[in-house]
Amino acid sequence: MAEEFDPQAMIERFRERARAVRSRGVPPVEGPERKRFIEQAQIDYMDFAMLSDADASLDDGVLTIRVDLRPKP
């Protein structure tokens, strides 16, 4: 499987997921469920966006993902 795996394609899938989370609407729920849905969407977006900015490589069957969390100048 390692020979078939494309780390850059994985990064692009995370980029697409981040866009999807950002553009999806809030279902017609109210109260605590609505708040939980919105909070989860924010976490999902943050995770997907962070991984979509990562550098990924596959070396000798080991996937390495580097995420630079330093503030941009």
pLDDT tens, the chain, 73 aa long: 445 889 999 999 999 999 999 999 888 889 999 999 999 999 999 999 999 999 999 998 899 999 998 888 8
Length of the chain: 73
* pLDDT score of 3: 59
Q: How many CB atoms lie within 10 A of CB 48?
A: 20
Q: Over 5-71, what HEC string results?
A: CCHHHHHHHHHHHHHHHHHCCCCCCCCHHHHHHHHHHHHHHHHHHHHHCCEEEEECCEEEEECCCCC
